[in-house]
Amino acid sequence: MSFADEYDTDEWGSKGSGCQLSNDNKTITSIVGGSTGTRTGKGKLVMESGTGTYRYQIKIDQCHTGPDWINWCCFGVCKPESRGTYNSSDGTWFFNCFTDSGRGKCCNGTQSKYGTGATTGDTIAIVVNMDNKTVSFEKNGKDLGVAHTNIADRVVLCVDFWYSKQSISIL
């Protein structure tokens, strides 16, 4: 799988202006960010209720280290029609891993503790169980448990960057 096959990149609906694809379209990088806002990439593959379990491995190629409020990258799933940003209240279920405090999970704009922060070189698995409508995450092979329950009947893979030059790859 590559981002070209499974991802559209967008900046509030403008294709490709906030993220860049590389590495045979398996890597997505935020090329702008910070005070200019978030940049998202959303998957094209729609996972529907009752279709089993999907597992995606994400490698953190580069993350920004700095103050907690600017140091985030969230990934997980969102409704296909959602903005796909960490603070969206329109259907998002994320793991916010690029924070020193391990900010945790984000659901429809609400954050709570979950897991520990991640850094460059870490591998995160996103496990989407569409039969049970749950999302779980693993960090470097360690199961972090169920983060979200009762997700929407139709979701897509999603990433939301805040700071520029953050980068992840699908393995």
Distance between the two ends of the chain, CA-based, in angstroms?
8
Domain count, the chain: 1
Q: Please state, in angstroms and rounded to a whole number, the distance separating the CA atoms of residues 99 and 15.
A: 27
Q: How confident is the model at residue 153 (pLDDT cuts 50, 70, 90)?
A: very high
Among 155, 137, 148, residue whose Cα is nearest residue 56: 137
| 49-96 residue pLDDT tens | 999 999 988 888 887 665 554 556 778 888 777 765 656 667 777 787
Angle at 26 between CA 141 and CA 134, to 5 degrees: 45
Instruction: Count Cβ neighbours within 10 Å for each residue of 78-97 and write b for 16 or more, e otherwise.
Output: bbbebbbbbebeebbbbbbb
Residue 16: the pLDDT is: 46
Structural domain of residue 35, as residue ranges? 3-170
Among 78, 100, 68, residue whose Cα is nearest residue 148: 78
Q: How confident is the model at residue 36 (pLDDT cuts 50, 70, 90)?
A: low
Give the lowest-confidence range in 2-11, 30-39, 72-81, 104-113. 2-11
Residue 37: the pLDDT is: 56
> To 10 degrees, the CA torsion angle through 161, 115, 64, 57?
-60
| 128-140 residue pLDDT tens | 999 999 999 999 9
List of residues 6+ apart from 32 with CB closer than 8 A: 11, 17, 18, 39, 164
Q: What is the pTM of this model?
A: 0.79
Among 100, 63, 83, residue whose Cα is nearest residue 13: 83
Domain holding 30: CATH number? 2.60.120.920
Q: Could you tell me what percent of the chain has a pLDDT over 90?
A: 20
Q: For residue 120, give the DSSP letter.
A: T
Residue 46: the pLDDT is: 79
> In the 3-class helix/strand/coil scheme, how is 22-45 assigned residue by residue?
ECCCCEEEECCCHHHCCEEEEECC
Residue 73: the pLDDT is: 73
